[in-house]
Amino acid sequence: MTNEAEIPERIEARLRQWEADGFIERLLEHDPTLWALRGTPEIENRLGWLDLPTTMAPKVADLTRFGRDVASEGFTDVVVLGMGGSSLAPEVFQTTFGNTAGHPRLRVLDSTHPAAVTALADALDISRTIFVVSSKSGTTTEMLSFFHYFWARLTEMGADPGPHFVAVTDPGTPLERLASERGFRRVFSAPTDVGGRYSALCEFGLVPAALIGVDIGSLLATVQSARDASDEEIEQALRLGATIGECALAGRDKLTFVTSPSLRSLPTWIEQLIAESTGKLDVGIVPIDQEPVWDYPDYGDDRVMVYIGLRTEPEPEKREALRALVPEWAHVAQIIEDTHEISRLMMRWEIATAAAGAVLGINPFDQPDVQLAKDLAREAMAGGSSSADAGRIISIDDTDVETVATEWLELATSGDYIGIHAYLAPGDDVWESIGQLRSVLGRSAKVATTAGYGPRFLHSTGQLHKGGANNGLFLQIVDDASANDVPVPETDYTFGQLIAAQSAGDAGALIQRGRRLLRVRVGADAQAGLERLASLFENK
């Protein structure tokens, strides 16, 4: 491991080398040799995101008009049916800006748990809901399952479903054909040279944003004006990329985010960007989002702290506390004047992530380990070997659960992190209990912690878990999703079977990669089961 005293000079040396190599000019010219040889798959055809502020500008008027037309028809809700890059940016826009008066509010469905699907359906006036079916490939299992469910619900009501659906996908995909056959209200074609996690400022992010009344022209103009002013914006992004890349090489690979209240959802989007882009070939940067930061002060020497805030929400005490946790060169502060500058931060983090990939010597635009979990889930759905290969699931009520849990936790060593994979129906109470469990695990093992709902995280941090360094311990939590199961119309499976197969596929992939995994089944009361699980780890 690099001597810590050398890290600041390594960062500066990296920046000097990039300047000598013309990194900025080559980046803007879409030069793939910044990362690999010409012709390397998923580089040359994945750099269109750099031009989105320019290429999307002519589409602003049409998108804005579309959003206003939908609002004028009295729709109250817009639901994004998608995963990962298709859902995270829209969620950030809703959380940050809210929906403009007269425009529908936005929700995201990215859980296949039957209780999550039915809870959302019951909360909606489906007759006044627009569904954005969103997928780059147009083949995502979750997206298609959600589509079939809500199409059937509208049909059962006697409504014409087509006008309630909008598709966002690449040209020529199965989703585009489906939308044409079923008479969707509109199909938006996204640029083929933009990968999902880099797609916030194209149709995948901007169509939902326009539907809730966000000023998408301002989002794009903010990025373009910053770039037009000088190279300083890109230089800042490169400094960020050099910092997080060199720190990761030196062992400070836990990129820990804290934000002011208005920007609380942004790190969840950054989490996917960082984890899926850098977590491969046994290296990676581990993003830490929504960790109970103040619960334990012993952070070790594996952190880089990032504070992102609004100037109007200064929080000086919080910022000073963060600075005290790490050396100055391992602390990043990003302050913006207005929420619309969130688009500038998105582009900055995209450039920084790509630059960090160059530091780590990996391709930041592919996701080679994501497919494994999908394949194993498909095998489990077909009754294949994946379920058996996924390891034992221990019940929270088994007599040896405490022994097994303790033995798993004792595998943690300095520099590790713990990832909680909750294949449970999302909810505020459940998330609070997961936070309490994170706090207990972090204090007990003195390591960083992450958490995510399955299968949502499979399309974001899942790549890091399987392809990154083997410094993660994973706690998979499942329940009996078949208790109140729901069939997926037009298919031969249920949502309960789907999420069970996805958890088995995920576990099988982790085991194949030699990861340290504990699988626990909680009871019908997930919150109570999580609290019981936390008690097992208390004072270990």
pLDDT tens digits, one per residue of 397-424 = 999 999 999 999 999 999 999 999 999 9
Selected residue with higher pLDDT from 539 and 436: 436
Predicted local confidence at residue 166, as pLDDT: 98
DSSP output for 23-37 = HHHHHHTT-GGGTS-
pLDDT tens digits, one per residue of 438-481 = 999 998 999 999 999 999 999 999 999 999 999 999 999 999 98
Three-class SS string for 378-389?
HHHHCCCCHHHH
Residues 6+ apart with CB under 8 A from 10: 2, 246, 249, 250
* Residue 86 CB-density burial (10 A; 0-12 exposed, 13-18 middle, 19+ buried): buried
pLDDT tens digits, one per residue of 474-503 = 999 999 988 889 999 999 999 999 999 999
Predicted local confidence at residue 524, as pLDDT: 87
Omega before 455 within 30 of 0, i.e. cis: yes
* Element holding 518 (H helix, E strand): strand 516-521
CA distance 232 to 226: 8
- Average pLDDT for the chain: 94
**Residues 215, 208 contacting (CB under 8 angstroms):** no
pLDDT tens digits, one per residue of 350-406 = 999 999 999 999 999 999 998 888 888 888 888 765 545 678 899 999 999 999 999
**DSSP label of 392:** P
Residue reference for tokens 């997961």? 434
Residues 6+ apart with CB under 8 A from 403: none
* Kind of pairing between the strands at 254-259 and 186-189: unpaired
Q: Which of 379, 363, 361 is nearest to 509 (CA)?
A: 379
pLDDT tens digits, one per residue of 243-276 = 999 999 999 999 999 999 999 999 999 999 999 9
496 to each of 146, 426, 481, how far by Cα in Å? 13, 15, 5
CA distance 475 to 391: 12
How far from the centroid of its chain's Cα atoms is residue 489's Cα?
Answer: 28
**Residues 115, 495 contacting (CB under 8 angstroms):** no
How far from the centroid of its chain's Cα atoms is residue 385's Cα?
Answer: 29
pLDDT tens digits, one per residue of 78-89 = 999 999 999 999
